Structure 1
């Protein structure tokens, strides 16, 4: 960074932080209620072990100081996640106990962090929520990943950004992770009727401003019946609907969409948010072709250095490592 750019950055920092609170109140996510009758264990306790290392232990970081708290006090990331996963799994038909602690664990937490960024006082306040864990399944240890990007321009106060940039992304990340644990460890799969109900709701006009939440829910049902409808949303005018459609196609492992996702990621005119979510969806496909592609892209972005796009894109890819 040149001297004049460094001076400008230092001058801008007080402006960016002047109106920002020192802490944000994080809510415990509301469970989805996407219940399915399962024959899985009813009394199993899942241990969640914190294996985060280095900077991965920085739960909240970025341009603005943003300590995350709940009504009970400062957030203990593993305990917060364990509580949220337990509630979400129960709402899907798996009344399991999830406990944070050491020792042999079915869930090994690798990444759980919220990165915030804001360029200037007129730009959106953006958060990137990263979540990754290794989960013991009947096929062995498997990586489960969630990534959510959200942005909001505060008009009157920073209180306006808490729900869309902290609470909603956290809720989506927890739901995705819980659904993957349910599907990969216990065979969870939503019914055709549940898919049809969400598709009908999303097809109604006018569509809700928070339609992206239902698009995301389609993926977490792990029912491939949703794939054709989701493909039709990849060019939606709502960026969050597009992102949720890509995320859901990845969760559903829609292998025939690799080329489409690759095209979005490589599109010169695409927003970074679209490109990042397409890349994350490719990672979720989990095929040898997808893994090879991620490895190639990681080398590319690591060679780029420390600019914002390179660092953020590499972080998305590393969720799968």
Structure 2
């Protein structure tokens, strides 16, 4: 029995070593390229948006998980709040909103109260995908009150020749999507800004042509803040392409498609793979209705009662973005 235990312990060490053998201690990431689709209705006057970094101590490590690493940007370790403020401003400006985003007084309005912004990675073994879960949670506050906004992005890539292959799909793209989704939600909440119907039609036609990056265009439909995109997105929730499908599910939440609660609930209950279920509960959180909040609370209680494991832990982290 002792020899079996030693063999198992040795095997576990070998697995850990094989996972970490080629993984670098740090990755160099880049700032997102701002969107090209402008919002049709945007404020003419420049406004300052205060961003307060109120992440808890447990939220301060940015890239954690199976292979913890440091992210570098512009030759320095990535500062999550500063990175977010700089690139959120660039995205809003590109959309036609002349806002300035930066640290400000706690009493200043409008204000973004940052609760969570981090990446968690996971890898089962040396032959499986390197997967990242990107989480962002904040309260967007005005003198009239506050609204919780959340972002969850899942991406994965099997590194074949080098770990450099994972940087673009699992780090750069999720960071870009997180900034763009937050910008879309801020623009909608503060200014009611949205892209026009022509922009939605152009994106829909582009998605129909299909490319390796079509899922990014599906996300862009959600970031348009235009309900004209809802019917297209509903159809794409059944797509065979995993990333197109979860982008469509997420985007129904981004558009606060409250009439799709039953669809999202059915995906959450019946989907065969976890990422579909996770994106459905994320989208339900985005709906921000008494019904959706009650459902999140119920599901959090359910998962807390379950034995410890990956799915309970990961699902509760998504739900916690909204509670």
- Name the TM-score class by shorter chain: over 0.9
Scaled by the length of structure 2, the TM-score of the pair is 0.94
Q: Given the superposition, is the C-alpha separation of residues 7 and 297 from structure 1 closer, same or farther in structure 2, using an over 3 Å criterion? A: farther
The answer (yes or no) to whether the contact 1:111–1:319 under 8 Å persists in 2 is yes
Counterpart in 2 of 1:260? 263
Tell me which of 185, 191, 196 is aligned to 1:186: 191
Where 2:120 maps in the other structure, the secondary structure is strand
1:74 aligns with: 77
Deviates more, 1:7-16 or 1:217-226: 7-16
Which string of whole-angstrom CA distances, capped at 9 and with x for unpartnered residues, describes residues 44-70 of structure 1?
111111000032112110100211111
Map of 1:285 onto structure 2 = 287
Are residues 1:300 and 2:302 paired?
Answer: yes
TM-score by length of 1: 0.94
> Could you give the per-residue CA deviations for residues 177-228 of structure 1, whole angstroms, max 9, x where no partner exists?
0110000011111100110110111122xx1110000000001111110111
Q: Deviations over 1:20-56 (max 9, x none)?
A: 0110111101101221244525321111110000321
- Cα pair 1:38 1:94 within 8 Å, conserved: no
Distance in 1 (alpha carbons) for counterparts of 2:11 and 2:274:
24
Task: Within 5 Å, give how 1:118-197 maps onto structure 2.
Answer: 118-137=123-142, 139-197=144-202
Gaps of 5+ in 1: none
1:33 to 29, 33, 36: 36
- Name the SS of the counterpart of 1:236 in structure 2: coil
Give the 3 Å change call, closer, same or farther, for CA 13–220 of structure 1 in structure 2: same
Number of residue pairs aligned between Structure 1 and Structure 2: 317
> Is it true that 1:249 corresponds to 2:252 in the alignment?
yes
- CA spacing shift, 1:7–1:277, aligned 2, 3 Å: farther
Shift of 1:143: 0.8
List alignment gaps of at least 5 residues for structure 2. none
Secondary structure, aligned partner of 1:89: helix
What do the CA deviations read for 1:128-177 (whole angstroms, capped 9, x no partner)? 00001111146411111111000100111100000000000110111000
Aligned to 2:203: 198
1:235 is matched with 238
Runs of 4+ in 1 over 6 A off after TM superposition: 2-6
Q: Tell me how large the CA RMSD over aligned residues is.
A: 1.7
In the alignment, the residues of structure 2 paired with residue 37 and residue 201 of structure 1 have an alpha-carbon distance, to the nearest angstrom, of 20
Give the Cα–Cα distance (whole angstroms) in 1 for the partners of residues 155 and 72 of structure 2: 19
Aligned match of 1:50: 53
